[in-house]
Every structure is written in structure tokens, then in C-alpha cells.
């Protein structure tokens, strides 16, 4: 059970990281478009 919990937490951290990265990428692209 403990091993399963660790796997779940690691998976959650990876998904949050991907989500934040995409959000940041989208924000930066919008900022660049406004400058033009």
C-alpha cells in the first residue's frame, strides 16, 4: 500500500509540473503576441 501511495504522489507531481509548464508557455506566447 505504501509503494502505491508513493507512485500516486510522484504521478501527481509530474502532472502538476506539466500543467504549470504549459500554463507558463501559453502566458509567454500571449505576452509576445501583445508586443507585436
Distance from C-alpha of 22 to C-alpha of 28, rounded to nearest angstrom: 10
Per-residue pLDDT of the chain (36 residues; tens, 9 = 90+): 788 999 999 999 999 999 999 999 999 988 888 876
pLDDT at 35: 73
Any idea what DSSP says for residue 1? -
- Predicted confidence at residue 3, as pLDDT, reads 87
Give pLDDT, residue 34: 80
What local confidence, expressed as pLDDT, does residue 4 receive?
Answer: 92
- How many whole angstroms separate alpha carbon 17 and alpha carbon 15? 5
Amino acid at each position: 500500500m505504501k509503494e502505491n501511495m508513493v507512485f500516486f504522489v510522484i504521478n501527481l507531481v509530474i502532472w502538476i509540473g506539466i500543467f504549470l509548464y504549459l500554463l507558463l508557455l501559453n502566458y509567454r506566447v500571449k505576452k509576445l503576441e501583445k508586443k507585436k
